[in-house]
Amino acid sequence: MKITIVGTGGVGGYFGGRLAEAGNDVTFVARGQHLKALLKDGLTVKSIQGDFHIHPVRATDAIAKTTPADLVIIATKAWQVKDIAHQLLPVIGKDTMVLPLQNGVMSSEELREILPHANVLSGLCRIISKIEAPGVINHLAVEPTLIFGEYNNHKSERLVPVQTTLQKAGFKAFIADDIQAERWKKFISICASGWLAVTGGTYGEVCQQPETHAILHQLYAEVAEVARALGINIPVGFEDKIMAATEAFPFNSTASLTRDVWEGRPSEIEYQNGTVVRLAQKAGIKAPINQFIYHSLLIKERKARKLKTTD
């Protein structure tokens, strides 16, 4: 399968690397020193499930330099999706499938504002990974998994070869019965990232401290309530299941949003806790914990983006 990976960070680098290792025609879109290292030395992936190295690697610094692919996987930050959609317009074919893997629940919607609806799938991934050094991806925790489907949950035939290709690359891949519910289930869990950023604690530290543990559980329940108010099929008690899963994370693990905030980089706060606040308002309910987290991080976010705090 001909595949373009837009964003070769921890997610795109890992899944794209596995797909390339399995013999697919993969082009990576990357930038800076990471791109230079990929072109010179190839892609190295360190993984709890086994390390591997790919060389040579086909990589470029611009979507415009790619050619139409069967599948485009977007693995960038959420705030970059709209711009990427405009860049993709000239280089996707009629049958190209575009699969966004961003944190949050807005990526497919934003793509559909710009791209033909028939091109856009919905999806999510499960993995904890990061760029360790230029050209080097480190898969730290969680069994790598992709869950995807048609935006409207139609069980189209075109999804089957995609699933087969993904599974042959050596990671789990599922066609969702209800992709919107699956997206929200992950969204509920990742909204913990902002709480970690506020507290300064890792997953283990937040779960170990009774007070921060209690607020984290309340946060999960709050996001689940917003989802249900919007008609998303989230089972009763799902927040308890997510809490138990969180308690099993490696003690020192964190999330990408958390690390971005701590290190003074722009984060996905608008697409995580900020989105919860806005969707709660749309549903006519309150989300005080997410509102507190969102508002607590706004000044840091604006400084990271070099915006005035009064803008």
Task: Give the position of tokens 């993984």.
Answer: 47
Please report, rounded to a whole number, the percentage of residues in the chain having pLDDT higher than 70. Answer: 98
The domain of 236 spans 188-304
Boundary residue ending a domain (177, 208, 235): 177
Boundary residue ending a domain (152, 177, 202): 177
- Whether residues 88 and 158 share a domain: the answer is yes
For residue 120, being part of any structural domain is answered with: yes
Task: Record the tokens describing residue 285, joined without a space.
Answer: 């309910």
Q: What is the model's pLDDT at position 128? A: 85
* CA gap 115, 19 in Å, rounded: 25
Mean pLDDT of the chain: 95
- Whether residues 22 and 51 share a domain: the answer is yes
pLDDT digits (tens, 9 = 90+) for 56-82: 999 999 999 999 999 999 999 999 999
Q: Does the pLDDT at position 309 exceed 80?
A: no
Boundary residue ending a domain (177, 197, 216): 177
Q: Does the pLDDT at position 105 exceed 90?
A: yes
Q: Say if CB 142 and CB 254 are below 8 A apart.
A: no
Give 6's contacts (C-beta < 8 A, 6+ positions apart). Answer: 12, 29, 63, 72, 73, 74, 75, 76, 84, 88
Q: What is the model's pLDDT at position 311? A: 42
For residue 276, being part of any structural domain is answered with: yes
Mean pLDDT, residues 18-41: 96
* CA gap 292, 212 in Å, rounded: 14
CATH code of the domain containing 60: 3.40.50.720
Q: Does the pLDDT at position 30 exceed 80?
A: yes
Q: What is the model's pLDDT at position 242? A: 96
- Whether residues 270 and 247 share a domain: the answer is yes
In a 3-state reduction of DSSP, which class is residue 99?
Answer: strand
- Whether residues 163 and 18 share a domain: the answer is yes
CATH code of the domain containing 219: 1.10.1040.10
Q: What is the model's pLDDT at position 142? A: 84
Q: Does the pLDDT at position 127 exceed 60?
A: yes
CA 140 vs CA 40, 126, 131, 239: distances in Å: 25, 12, 11, 24
Q: Does the pLDDT at position 285 exceed 70?
A: yes
Q: What is the model's pLDDT at position 306? A: 87
For residue 154, being part of any structural domain is answered with: yes
Q: Does the pLDDT at position 19 exceed 90?
A: yes
Question: Quick one: which H or E segment has residue 114?
Answer: none
Mean pLDDT, residues 222-242: 96
Mean pLDDT, residues 199-204: 97
Please report, rounded to a whole number, the percentage of residues in the chain having pLDDT higher than 90. Answer: 93
Mean pLDDT, residues 265-275: 96
Mean pLDDT, residues 209-230: 97
pLDDT digits (tens, 9 = 90+) for 139-193: 988 899 999 999 999 999 999 999 999 999 999 999 999 999 999 999 999 999 9
Q: Does the pLDDT at position 279 exceed 70?
A: yes
Q: What is the model's pLDDT at position 140? A: 87
- Please name the residue ranges forming H helices in the chain: 10-21, 32-41, 81-88, 107-112, 159-168, 179-190, 192-199, 203-208, 210-229, 238-247, 256-262, 273-283, 288-304
Give the least confident one: 3-12, 65-74, 134-143, 191-200. 134-143
For residue 182, being part of any structural domain is answered with: no
- Whether residues 166 and 61 share a domain: the answer is yes
Mean pLDDT, residues 4-18: 96
Task: Record the tokens describing residue 20, joined without a space.
Answer: 């390339």
- Whether residues 172 and 211 share a domain: the answer is no
Q: What is the model's pLDDT at position 308? A: 55
